[in-house]
Amino acid sequence: MITWLNHSLKIPELDGLASVIVGLLLVFVSFILARESRSLLMGEGIAPETRKKIAELAEKDFTVVKTKNILSTYQSPEEVVLMLIIDFEDDLDTEEITEAIRRIRIDIKNEFKLVHYVIIQPE
């Protein structure tokens, strides 16, 4: 449209104005995209409410004393990697801890569909 005005009105400066408008539009869109994707690029973790729910879910298992730490990061908008550091009961053997880890992992993946990888570190 601006090119049409340029030819109709014989004002060549309108081409420059059109270039500036397109440039400003591109800058505006890039700021929006950067703001939206910044947290994903910087390794955003899961929300605090979700962390609390995951800790409660893990602590429901009868072998767990306490969830000490939860580390998480988004690998993509639909994929989360989760690491839990869990304090288990002292009298458990390796087989019981392994079975507890399997149960907790299944419970978390069933409850939170975005969590694709669950790493559980006994403490």
38/93: higher pLDDT: 93
Give the per-residue pLDDT at 69: 93
Sheet of strand 64-76: strand arrangement = 64-76, 79-88, 115-122
pLDDT, tens digit (0-9, with 9 covering 90-100), for 16-30: 777 889 999 999 999
Mean pLDDT of the residues in the chain: 86
For residue 45, count other CB atoms closer than 10 A to its CB.
16
Angle at 29 between CA 36 and CA 47, to 5 degrees: 5
pLDDT, tens digit (0-9, with 9 covering 90-100), for 39-82: 666 666 788 899 999 999 999 999 999 999 999 988 877 888 99
Amino acid at the residue 29? V
Give the per-residue pLDDT at 103: 95
The radius of gyration of the chain's CA atoms, rounded to the nearest angstrom, is 26
DSSP 61: S
11/42: higher pLDDT: 11
Whether 95 shows a pLDDT value over 70: the answer reads yes
> Position of tokens 């973790």?
45
DSSP 88: E
